[in-house]
Amino acid sequence: MILPVIIAGGSGARLWPMSRALHPKQFLKIHGDNTLLQDTILRLSNMELADPLVICNDEHRFLVAEQMREIQRRCQIILEPEGKNTAPAIALAALKALEKGQDPILLVLAADHVISDTFAFESSVNLAAELALIDQLVTFGIVPTTAETGYGYIKKGGALKGGFKVDKFVEKPDQKTAEEYLDSGEYFWNSGMFMFKASCYLKELKKHNSKMLDICRESLKTAANDIDFIRIDVSIFSKCPANSIDYAVMEQTDSAAMVSMDAGWSDIGSWSAIWELANKDKSNNSIIGNVIVESSRNCLVLAEERLVSILGLENIVVVDTKDAILVATKRDVQKVKNIVESLKNNNQNEWKVHREVCRPWGKFDSIDIGQRYQVKRITVNPGAKISVQMHHHRAEHWVVVSGTAQVRKGNTSFLVSENESTYIPIGEIHSLENPGKLPLELIEVQTGSYLGEDDIIRLEDDYGRV
């Protein structure tokens, strides 16, 4: 049996302002009609595999669950209380996989990669499975197309059936070295995808980092089942060393093998990578959204809502979202993460959240905010319900724009229909439900001395957030 393990952590800081800590790139529709996570799952549809196991941060749990529901795919979801890099995450998956007395082959994939040639991807996976059956720890080496300095490299060693032994792993090179690697034909990009038996990975992890394995084992023993999630014990897992699978295992083991892959792969780790993948006009510009371009070449312009126009530009990236705009040269897009760090250091929330925020029951858009007021556009999905809650510092006025709301206020419950409204005083216990079959849209006007999202006292909740 082959068990896909999807690593869905990470913040995608280099794709800010679209990718943010609470809604990073793997959950965005950056390339195509599906999110990157959804495409990662759908890519496996023609293969005989077990239902995938997704590992994500606790704060992303409802994003994963909702996106799996949208594409009608089942999966197990392990929640990491904090990110510890890939080696502990894969250890949790391997330990969980062995609980049923089987020893499946794990196909470890990142949730935020693009692979355009699914047939070539499947062929490489089939070759890797054969090596995994003879206890090899297989990594996938991407056939390089350019002298890329943004990737680590793998040098191939002696031939194996369908692949090669790994001679060595190499860190990101400078330009001259990358060109030498490309010319030699001996080096491949390190994809961060792997395939091995669960028991083989744990055996090597025990040999080279036994403390990490012991902590992962103990934290999984005391894990709690929370709705559809497996919640790892934070008090134990917090003591786990943080390390990547490359450093913790693959560079240490004598059983590392590599299968080459030439499948149109990209980790889309920057806006220049998005430009390379996207369709372009006759001037080599990639345009997404409501954009006017004049006398410009080799540019990427992404407009989320507003009209964006550019004139006389070359090799420029412009990304416009509801609450932030990025303008950068393509050669500098790797430095976007420096902007994210500046936002963090200045306590500006734009590094963390979008103006439009997803919730398990729907979403809200903070369309205006002042000193003692905030206006939100709220969407509640059919059949969904916000928590039974109260606020110490704010009152709320709800105006229904479309649909019908089932409102609980104190000890009373009543319907509020289109063009009707209701008022929730400070300290009043209340909740909101959409009993209909269409989305419920309403405008919420908050007033009070403090309007932060942490002024919510949840008394009951369908999503385990009490």
For 222-261, what is each residue's pLDDT tens digit? Answer: 998 877 799 999 999 999 999 999 999 999 999 999 999 9
Residue 20 half-sphere exposure toward CB, CA atoms < 13 A = 20
Whether the Cβ atoms of residue 456 and residue 424 lie closer than 8 Å to each other: no
The boundaries of every CATH 3.90.550.10 domain in the chain are: 2-266
Average pLDDT over residues 332-336: 93
409-432 pLDDT, tens digit per residue, is 999 999 999 999 999 999 999 999
d(CA 276, CA 3): 32
Choose which CATH entry (3.90.550.10, 3.30.10.20, 3.30.360.10, 2.40.50.110) describes domain 2-266: 3.90.550.10
Exposure string over 77-106, b if 16+ CB within 10 A, otherwise e: bbbbbeebbbbbbbbbbbbbbeeeeeebbb
Name the residue among 118, 106, 275 with its Cα closest to residue 200. Answer: 106
- pLDDT of 11 reads 83
Average pLDDT over residues 351-375: 92
- pLDDT of 84 reads 94
pLDDT at position 392 over 90: yes
Helices then strands, each counted (H, E), the chain: 11, 30
Q: What amino acid occupies position 13? A: A
The boundaries of every CATH 2.60.120.10 domain in the chain are: 356-460
d(CA 388, CA 457): 8
Fold category of 356-460 in CATH = Jelly Rolls (2.60.120)
d(CA 282, CA 375): 43
Contacts of residue 435, defined as CB under 8 A and 6 or more positions apart, other chains included, come to: 383, 404, 406
Whether the Cβ atoms of residue 421 and residue 398 lie closer than 8 Å to each other: yes
Task: Using the structure block, give the residue that is written with the tokens 């034909």.
Answer: 185
